[in-house]
């Protein structure tokens, strides 16, 4: 090989090396901030979950697996045996059920809405997107409060029904499972619509014409063409609803009134009145594990899709 190879090729290699280091340096501040104040705390609660609770909150630096044992068992005060206590497990299962129902109903309402939005003319479409985006970013606490005002005993629904003489005593809706379910649906509906919309917006609607041309009816086009093509958006939307619904905190706090707990307020309780930080950490990690399982299926699903086509 000739000597002429060197100059330009070496220059290029040097320039590349320099920019690669510069780029790393640029990303560093963000990575350091999230690393110290986002990742490190997660590691700390991993450690905390294996420590003993201090009597007035906080932890004692003694190794213990009590937190995980306490999740399923309770130590009998008299004979020190472990007794199976499913209280926490029930809260987890109930939260899971709430999250699943929320996801399914949001999908049933969100898909037609997103499809309708995606088939509007562009100018109208922008308005729809803005109208769905506003609740997406609006204060969750305030939106939950709005639901509370409507379903309270002296709220709008009961007032209206009594005013019409349909009922004599208000129907109790607040602080019930129904209230939590309604609140979750209301909170997370925009989280389903927007990802579905962004996947349907990219759909080539000439395919619908082609399917129609080949004798498919409207419903057949929907099931055989549109839904399979928007599957990545459907999965993304389901995940964006399921994960925050599973870990919901504000909704059960306000609409469940501390009577019907979900995982979120259970965890918060251990750091407040429960004064059992290790237990709270263990509960948080178990929730995190559930989220990671959901994410794992998402990643496996989407990467499989990419290989397909």
Within residues 59-98, the interface with another protein by CB under 8 A covers none
117 scored as a contact of another protein (CB under 8 A): yes
DSSP letter for each residue of 213-243: HTT--HHHHIIIIIHHHTHHHHHHHHHHHHH
How far apart are alpha carbons 253 and 264 in whole angstroms? 9
Closer to another protein at the Cβ: 64 or 212?
212
280 scored as a contact of another protein (CB under 8 A): yes
Phi-psi region of 308 (alpha: psi -120 to 50; beta: other; left: phi over 0): alpha
Tell me if 119 sits within 8 A of 197, measured CB to CB. Answer: no
Binding mask 213-252 for another protein (x = CB under 8 A): -----xx--x--------------------xx-xx-xx--
156, 167, 231, 293: residue in contact with another protein (rule CB under 8 A): 156
Closer to another protein at the Cβ: 244 or 256?
244
60, 83, 154, 303: residue in contact with another protein (rule CB under 8 A): 154
Nearest to 270 by CA among 67, 96, 82: 67
Q: Which residue has the tokens 């990467």?
A: 303
123 scored as a contact of another protein (CB under 8 A): no
289 scored as a contact of another protein (CB under 8 A): no
Give the total of residues touching another protein (CB under 8 A): 102
Tell me how far CA of residue 26 lies from CA of 16, 22, 130, in angstroms. Answer: 15, 6, 33
Closer to another protein at the Cβ: 24 or 305?
24
Nearest to 195 by CA among 38, 289, 302: 302
1 scored as a contact of another protein (CB under 8 A): yes
Q: How far is the CB of 275 from another protein (least distance, A)?
A: 13
64, 74, 85, 119: residue in contact with another protein (rule CB under 8 A): 119
């Amino acid at each position: 090989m000739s000597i002429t190879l060197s100059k330009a090729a070496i220059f290029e290699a040097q320039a590349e090396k320099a920019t690669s280091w510069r780029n790393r340096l640029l990303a560093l501040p963000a990575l350091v901030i999230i690393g110290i104040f986002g990742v490190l705390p997660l590691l700390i609660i991993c450690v905390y979950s294996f420590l003993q609770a201090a009597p007035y909150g906080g932890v004692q630096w003694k190794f213990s697996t009590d937190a995980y044992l306490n999740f399923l068992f309770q130590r009998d005060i008299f004979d020190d045996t472990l007794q199976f206590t499913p209280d926490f497990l029930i809260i987890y299962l109930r939260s899971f059920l709430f999250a699943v129902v929320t996801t399914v109903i949001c999908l049933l309402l969100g898909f037609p809405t997103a499809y309708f939005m995606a088939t509007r003319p562009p100018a109208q479409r922008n308005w729809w997107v803005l109208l769905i985006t506003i609740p997406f970013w609006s204060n969750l606490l305030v939106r939950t409060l709005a639901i509370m005002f409507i379903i309270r005993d002296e709220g709008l629904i009961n007032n209206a029904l009594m005013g019409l003489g349909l009922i004599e005593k208000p129907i109790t809706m607040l602080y019930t499972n129904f209230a939590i379910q309604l609140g979750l649906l209301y909170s997370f509906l925009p989280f389903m619509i927007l990802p579905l919309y962004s996947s349907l917006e990219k759909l080539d609607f000439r395919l619908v014409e082609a399917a129609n041309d080949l004798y498919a009816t409207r419903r057949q086009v929907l099931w055989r063409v549109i839904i399979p093509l928007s599957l990545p958006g459907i999965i993304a939307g389901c995940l964006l609803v399921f994960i925050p619904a599973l870990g919901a905190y504000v909704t059960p706090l306000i609409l469940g009134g501390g009577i019907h707990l979900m995982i979120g307020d259970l965890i918060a309780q251990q750091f407040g009145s429960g004064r059992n930080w290790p237990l709270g950490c263990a509960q948080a990690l178990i929730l995190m594990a559930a989220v990671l399982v959901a994410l794992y299926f998402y990643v496996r699903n989407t990467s499989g899709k990419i290989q397909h086509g």
